[in-house]
Structures are given as structure tokens and as C-alpha cells.
Structure 1
Amino acid sequence: MEPLKFILFPIFFAIFYPGKYTLPDNKSSIEVTVVDHFTKDPVAVRVKITNSKGQVPGLPTEAISIMYGRNDEPERYGYQPDSSFYIDHHFKLNLKPGKYNISLSKGIEYMDQTRKFEVREGEVNELKFEMKRWVKMSDLGWYSADDHIHIRRSPRENPLILKWVEAEGLNIGILLQMGDFWSTYFSQYAFGEEGVYETDAGLLTPGQEEPRTHEIGHTIALVADDFVRYSKAYYYYDKVFDKVHELNGITGYAHQGMSFNGSTGMTMDVLEGKVDFLELLQFCVEGGPLLTQNYYHYLDLGFKLTATAGSDFPWCGNGPLFGTDAPNWNARIGNVRFYTHVDGQFEYQAWKENLKNGHTFVSSGPMIDFSIDGKLPGDEINLPKAGKISINAKAMGNISQIPLTRLEIIAHGKVLKQVVPNGDEQTMENMELHLDLDVQKGIWIAARCYAGPNQVAHTTPIYITVNNDGFHNPETLENYLALNEKYLDELESELEEPNDRVEKRAWWYRDGLEERIANTRKIIKSLKKR
């Protein structure tokens, strides 16, 4: 019965999904080999093949296949949502005679390639590709990660998943075990160092998207020594965050804090000093990938927040949002990513320490280098008195794939200085900006740059204090705290009456949440005295 399945499956697929699959002809084929242009080493890549009608002609046996899907369901295996697939530098595929297109990619540091080719009856076409890299950030000490990948994992899948990560040009894949009020999904077999899989090609590390609710947002914890879940105290996020910190991890909010009322949860958790990072770059929320509303809000209130980024694979992609009940054909690992600076040898502990120190920037295309007086993003500079600082920023892109359009220095949410391509020293591939700034009071300063559509980068700030007096923004303080009080009022209103919707259970925890609201209001009152 088992062999019959493999015979009938492609026939079934061809009948019911004619636009996605055509039966191969075994008398003609292609053989594809892919290497790095400069090193000539074999490389893993993402591949998509279509015929002249836009149909996908089949999946090679060499495709790196892993069962995956939304909500931990087995929706797909070998194909990615857009019908591409991953290979480790080489594959063969039988094809019917005809004209075809092949596209190859390897993340944002490499140039995409496309080629047309024709298959004739009885011929074997040998296609060789050299993937050209326009920048190698690891040579500059920056290593890329996707902080939001949902794939169930056992040790056996480690090499396969790492090949997917490698094929997208990433150094680190962070696999999140996800939870909700009822259960957990996308199980990880271990946490902490026991859950790290590391080779010369990169590493995989576990994390958690837990707790997550409709009323107060989705949270993420990274690099902790264990998974943390309190099913009987589910809406008390602070309890989870405290335990994660005990377990040497860091905590943050997903989706820019913009969806599922994350702004309300952040009001309580950031103001209580429980939050370390914000997932600043992602395509899940309309208007993305870069949404800075919550980021600038809490930086202006004087709270340090490291910038991270993640794809939320297999949900979110660079394209139309289909909703949670429909697949997003653009979902893709690494479509946004964050870079962490590591001095010396790249390995898990060094990366973890620098992530904790906030030495990061996020990107969906362009690269950015930013420093103040030689300090990195995430660092703090304490001036004993008012004085001058020297700011340097550089943006890097590629004229055909990631054409730069603007480089900015941002301070307290406003543009201090910007440059655009001018056909001279500022180009669509390299832009630089220098600014000497007189600092009279504390301030946070970051760099931001833009390129083609949906291509943007943003650094974690460098925090400047004068005589240890903080870096908050007095000009926006009142408005931001009023917004925090509004979020608390909305949560209080929701707690007043039971809700019949199964996904809304905050009212079950009314007493504890009201206590947290009261504590947060005390913090708001103290912050107003600034």
C-alpha cells in the first residue's frame, strides 16, 4: 500500500492543483550546481523553477524537506509557501521538454539570480551558478539572526533546519516554542545550551513565544536556560519575565508590540522594568516592516530596549496579509533579520553576551554601521557634564537590488541630520554621515536608513546621559504617559465584565491584573515628576 501512495500522490496533486504541479518527463532533465562566486565553495540556496505557464514542474529528491505549518500542523514538507525549495548546492530534476525559468537566492547579502533555459527531448542540461555576495557582514563582526521561526524540532532535524537557515544567508536561527492559554506548539527538545546546535556554518538556538494573548500582547524570551510557562497564572506576564531573567534569558514583545493589544502589555511590563527588547522589524502588522511607535515611546520615557527582528515563519511575508486562517505565500525565513556585533570568534556564548548588551541593528535589506565616540549600539555614554559627542553612520546597499535612498540620525524620535544620494560622494550603494553634537542633557540616538520598497535598517540606540541624569525626553513625557494611562483604562474596562469569547480570558485574572494596573499607575505618577 505504501508504494501506491507515492505513485498516486503526484497524480492527485496534478489534478487538484494544476497551477502548482506538472508531471515530469523522465527522458529529459537538468542538473544544477551552485557555488560561492568568490570562494568557489558549494553553498545552500533557495530555488524556484517554473515553466512557461508559471507552473511548478516538480520537487527534486535532493530538496531539503522538513514538515512544517501554521499552528504546528503538517501543511507543507519540501516546498516553501511560494513553491520554492531549499537545496545544498546540487540537485537533478526530470522535466518535460519546454522553456523554464529558474530563480536562486541566498538572503539579503547575496545577489538574486534568474535564468531562462530550454529543455529538449532526451537532453540533460547542466546549469552552473555562482552566487555573488555584495557584502559580507561577518567580516565586519556582524552576525545575522531571525528571532522568530516556528518549526517543531528534535535533534534529528537540526542539520536540515540549519541548512534552511544557511540557505537564507543567516548565521543564527532562533526557533520559538509557542504557547497560548490552552497548550504549547512547535516543541523544542531542550533549552539553554543543551538546545543549541552549532556548526561552522552557524547555529540554532531555542526560545519561546509565551505567554501570548489577545488582550495584552505576544511576548518572546530568548537564550534562557529553560522554557517558562505558568498555565494557572497565564496573564501575569511579569511572573514569566522574572523567571526568564533568573534563567539568564532576556524578554521582549513580538510584532513591534502593535498587534493583540501589545501596547497594553508593554505599559505594565516596560514601566516595571521587565522588558529587554522589542521585535522592531516584521511584516506581520500592516504598515510594516518598520513600526517605531512603541519603540520611540519607551525610549523617550528612558527605558533601554534592544532592537531585534524576526520573520514569524510560516505566517508573515513581504506581501499582502492573508490573515491567520489563510496561508501567506510570501512567508519566508529571514525576510527580516537582526545583526549582533561579536568581537573575535563567533560562537554561542559570545553572541549571547553581545545580544544582552544590545549591540544590534535590524534590517530587511540595507546594512548600517553606527557609532558615537567609538561606542556601539546598546552602549551608554555618561558625560560628567554637558559636552560634545562625535556621531558616525554609514549605510551600505546595492544599486540593482538594495538601492539606498536615505540615511538618518534619529534622536528622541526626530531626525537630527540626513543624507540622500547626490551622484557624488553619497551614492545608492554607500552613504556616510558625520555629526558633532553639543549635548546639554541626556538623549538616545540611533541611525536609520531606507532603500527600495520595504527595505529598511534601524539600530539599537546609543544612550547618552549627562551626570547620570537619564536619557528620557521631557518634551514627550506627558503625552506618552497619558497614552499609557489610556491603555490601562481600556484594560480596566475589559476586566469589568466577563467575556464569552474563548480567546479572551483576562477577566479570569481580574484581581491580579487590577493590582498590576495600580502598581503601574504609581510608576506613571513617579515618572511625571521628572
Structure 2
Amino acid sequence: MYLLILFALLLGYSQVRDSSLRPDFSAKLTVVTLRADTGETVPSRVYLFKGNRPYRLSPVDAMLPLRADTYYRERLWRQDRDLKVLEVTARDASHFILLEGRAAFNLPRSRTDQNEKYRLEAYRGMFFEPAEIEFTLQAEEEKTISIELKPIAPGRQDEWLAADDHIHLMRAQEDDELFLKWLQAEDLAVGNFLELQRQQHAALQYAFGREGEARARGFSIRSGHETRSRFYGHTLVLGPEQMIRPLSIGHIYANSPAAYPFPTVFFQQGRDSGGVVGFAHFDGAMANSTLIMNLARKTIDFIELFQFGVLHTDRWYELLNAGFRVVGIAGSDFPASLRNDWPRIFPLLGPERALVKAEPGESAYDAWEEGVRQGAVLVSNGPLLEFTVNGKSSGATESWSGSSKVLKGEASVVFHRPIEKLEIVVNGRVVAIRGGDTKKTALQLPFETEVTESSWIAARASSLHREGEYEIWAHANPAYFLKDDEPVYVEADRAAVREHWEKEAEYYRNPSLVFEQEEQRQQLLRIVEETRAILARPAD
């Protein structure tokens, strides 16, 4: 009797699959991604192809299904086990994040009778050369493949903190560990996760300030918010100790027609709360903007210069030449940045980055934010660009006197693609250039130039990009050499900015703008007129 019961139990157990639900006849493939110069296992982003067609890796331990509809309410889903693999799905494509740099998958055999092979591609941020490997599998085979990711500038690249200033992902405290590992896989030291509003709040953050900062060694996630309106444009408050309310105004983004508060008001509140403040999408991406007003009154810390693959150099140079100190940073607006045919060379998080040369300390965010305040920022969607001039670099200011000033220095750039050109720019003019030869992945450019007026100077570089990819650029923020401590002043550019503001001022005088209190309207109009007065005189 006992033997019959034991036999029945064994028979029943044999019909129950393991919880992993491994398919019969599948091969077991273990993937390991390594840093080539140290041999350490590192998180990465990977893609598998079977016979040159995308093939989903399975099993995964967590998923983030994205359907960007501007309300940003997608949540992470996870298995109740150690998390090794995150699958991010968007626009009918899957992106796989190896959270520990090592994971095992179940795969069908290769159709070797048809010369079919597998191909695995691995990526890690911008400063590691992408790698790929081909292989075949037999049914029920167990195989381990290791793929090495080569740093483009060993040692030097680790001195920089890369940040994405603009990420919209809902975040609960329980999500922090997984999101931090995703940042590590993208080699992104700082993720600014931004709450926003479209009627209701979206991309919710569980806390702000220190309480809402997630940290791992060399990596930080910090809460911030995007405050939006049709009247003034889209703006950013990064890293405040508390949310500055309201998040939006006007019928498009909020729930009333009121045009208050305007950016000057909540920018000051954001700064008072310990944050850095500025405009998203360069000038806010709406028909009207108070960017010029906020620059003239020195009430912002940055503009979003590089996004969606577009580096807004012409408009930036005009503002710099008009006498404004304009710090350019970069960010993705993820997941709105995703497109149907995402170029895999670019990270999902931080496809455009604002980099600061600094030690991360206890908080990578704090170290990065200090660099933004100083203007010591490189923006890039690929190359690592470094430059010095008279012993100084981005954000530095030096006063000089006399008839002229010699500026002497060197720029260098490196990437895993051939460099097209490396240039030095003074007040918007290229004063030195070195072209690539379609092969070299690193260039150096010693330079010497003479200026006779207050000037800003910066370096920029471009790299080879392929069909379907964004143009690949890096641009250092300027250093400033000011004659008799006077700001840069190019009359044509100052006049263009002045003319632009006259058009904006006309809009803000429009009586159809709704204010709950007349004193709010008068406050705006007073500052509008003060800005006109500032622009009417030489830069200061």
C-alpha cells in the first residue's frame, strides 16, 4: 500500500514543471558581460537576434511595459525572486537590461541546417565600445558566452558623472534598487526623475529631497519636476527638497484657466528649496516663453540644450553673444524620446547627457548639481570631449585688461566611431579646426587665438553617424574671458534678442490672460517692462 502511494506521488511530481517553466528541448544560454580592461562583470543592455531577426530573451525577472501617452503612469512589474533581467518594452520592441551583468536564458536550437546563427549585441552607455558575438546552440545544450565591453578612454572616462536631466518614470521606494541597476547598465551616474501634471499628476515620485534620493556607489536618482504651461513654456526644477506647487497652470496641463504663477515666481521657490531651475526643450517648446526675461534677470541656472538628437547651437550662440551666461545641459524626456526604430547605439536613459567632471562622493547628484551651478558641463550623445584654455575649462571666468588677450589651450576627443571634426569656437566663430580622416577615433587640437573684446570660448566635436541615427555631437560649455570684467556683447545678437522679447512682451500684455488677482497681472507686467529696460542697454 505504502509503495503504491509513493509511486503515485512520484508520478504526480513528475508531471509538475519547475517554476521556471523551462521548455522541453531548450538550450540553456548563460550570458556574461565584462569590462574588457578589468575583467569585472558589469550590468549592460543587450539584444538577441536569431537568423538576423530580433528574438526575445526568456525568462526575465521584471518588466516595464511602456506606452507613452503623456500621462506617464506605467509601473514596474517583477517576479518574487532575485532580479537579474529587466525587459523594457516600447513601440513593439524589447530592450533587455542585465541588472547584474550575468543571466541565463532558455532558447531553441539554431537551425544549422539553414546556416542559422544567433547574434548577441551588448551596450553600456556611451563610453564603452558596443560588442557583439555570434554562436549556435543545440537542443538541450548548456553554453556560457562572455562578451567584453571595451572602454574608449580607460581611467579618464571614469572621472566624469553623466546625467539625464529629464526622465518621466513613476517611482515607488521599492523600485529604487532596480532603477539604480538600470542606471549602472547605461553607465548613467545621475537620473533626474521628474513628476509632472496633465490634469492629474503623472510620473509620480514617492518623495522629494534627501528622503526621495536613491543611492548606490557612484549613482543617484533624485526627484524633480517639470512645471508646464501654454503661457510660459515647459520648465524644470531639479533636486528640490520639496515639490513646488502647482505643477502646471492653464487648461492644457492643469484644471483652470489661470496664468499664475509665472516662472520667475516658482523658479525662486525652487532655488529656495535647494534646487536648480531652468527651461526644458531649450526655451520651453511652446509658442511663447519667458526664457529671455529669466536670463536677463538671472533667475535660471540652465537651459536644456541637447535633446531628441538636436543640439541647438545657433540659438545658444545668439544668447551667449547677447551677453547672457547660459549653461547648457541635456536630457532625454524619456519615454517620450523613444521611437519605433530606436538606434541601439544610444542608451535608453541618457541618449543625450550632461556630464560633469567630479568625484561622486556620498551623492552623485550633489556633485553633478554643483557642476551645473558652475557651468562646468559637457553635453554629448557620444564622444568624450575635454578642453582647457589658459589653464581653465568650462564655466570658468577670467577678467583681463589691455588691447588684446591670447587664448591658448588644447582640446581632445575620443569615441568608438571615427571623429569627423574637432573645433574651437569663439563668440560663435570657428577659430581652429582639425578634421578627421574617416578612421581615427581620437583627435587632439592644440590652439592659440587672440581676442580684442570680451569673449566666450568652447570646444565641439562630431563623429560619424549612420543612416537612421541622430547626428553625434559633443559640446563643452564655454569659458569666459571678459575685458575689464564686461560681459560679451555682439550688437547684432543683442538686437535680435531684444526684438524677440518685444514680440513676447506684446503677448504678455494681452488682457485675455486670466489672473485670479489683478496684482498678479501687474507683477508680471512690471517684470516684462523691467526686462525691456535691461535689454535696451548694453549687457551687464
**Contact 2:76 2:175 (8 Å CA) reproduced:** no
**Contact 2:319 2:493 (8 Å CA) reproduced:** no
Matched, 1:40 2:33: no
Aligned residue in 1 for 2:282: 256
Q: Return the alpha-carbon distance in structure 1 between the equivalents of residues 450 and 412 of structure 2.
A: 24
Letter in 2 for 1:460: N
Letter in 2 for 1:279: E
Of 517, 527, 530 in structure 1, the residue corresponding to residue 535 of structure 2 is 527
Q: Deviations over 1:3-53 (max 9, x none)?
A: xxxx9xxxxxxxxxxxxxxx9655323111122111111110001113226
Q: Return the alpha-carbon distance in structure 1 between the equivalents of residues 315 and 161 of structure 2.
A: 26
Of 422, 426, 440 in structure 2, the residue corresponding to residue 411 of structure 1 is 426
Point out where structure 2 has 5 or more consecutive residues left out of the alignment: 1-16, 78-86, 111-116, 250-257, 466-470
Letter in 2 for 1:223: G
Q: Deviations over 1:313-341 (max 9, x none)?
A: 111147779xxxxxx99882121111112
Judged with a 3 Å threshold, the aligned counterparts in structure 2 of structure 1 residues 160 and 76 are, in CA distance, closer, same or farther, namely closer
Matched, 1:219 2:240: no
Aligned residue in 1 for 2:88: 79
Q: Deviations over 1:76-121 (max 9, x none)?
A: 8532433121012111111122232221100111111122222222
Greater share of strand: 2
Judged with a 3 Å threshold, the aligned counterparts in structure 2 of structure 1 residues 450 and 422 are, in CA distance, closer, same or farther, namely same
SS of structure 2 residue aligned to 1:119? coil
Q: 1:480 Cα deviation (Å)?
A: 2.2
Matched, 1:313 2:337: no
SS of structure 2 residue aligned to 1:169? coil
Matched, 1:466 2:483: yes
Q: Deviations over 1:199-251 (max 9, x none)?
A: 22422222211x21234221111232221113676451111101011122211
**Contact 1:410 1:416 (8 Å CA) reproduced:** yes
Q: Return the alpha-carbon distance in structure 2 between the equivalents of residues 331 and 354 of structure 1.
A: 23
**Contact 1:443 1:473 (8 Å CA) reproduced:** no
Q: 1:177 Cα deviation (Å)?
A: 1.5
SS of structure 2 residue aligned to 1:190? coil
Letter in 1 for 2:358: V
Q: Return the alpha-carbon distance in structure 1 between the equivalents of residues 388 and 447 of structure 2.
A: 11
Of 337, 352, 364 in structure 1, the residue corresponding to residue 353 of structure 2 is 337
Aligned residue in 2 for 1:14: none
Of 149, 160, 177 in structure 1, the residue corresponding to residue 167 of structure 2 is 149
Judged with a 3 Å threshold, the aligned counterparts in structure 2 of structure 1 residues 165 and 58 are, in CA distance, closer, same or farther, namely same
Judged with a 3 Å threshold, the aligned counterparts in structure 2 of structure 1 residues 509 and 166 are, in CA distance, closer, same or farther, namely farther
**Contact 2:277 2:302 (8 Å CA) reproduced:** yes
Residues paired across the two proteins, number: 482
Listed as ranges, the matches of 1:290-439 within 5 Å are: 290-317=311-338, 332-342=348-358, 345=361, 347-348=363-364, 349-398=366-415, 401-421=416-436, 428-439=440-451
RMSD, aligned α-carbons? 3.1
Matched, 1:269 2:294: yes
Matched, 1:486 2:486: no
Aligned residue in 2 for 1:163: 181
TM-score (norm 2): 0.81
Q: Return the alpha-carbon distance in structure 1 between the equivalents of residues 39 and 443 of structure 2.
A: 30
**Contact 1:205 1:223 (8 Å CA) reproduced:** yes
Aligned residue in 1 for 2:27: 28
**Contact 1:206 1:222 (8 Å CA) reproduced:** yes
SS of structure 1 residue aligned to 2:145? strand
Q: Return the alpha-carbon distance in structure 2 between the equivalents of residues 310 and 50 of structure 1.
A: 29
Larger radius of gyration: 2
SS of structure 1 residue aligned to 2:53? coil
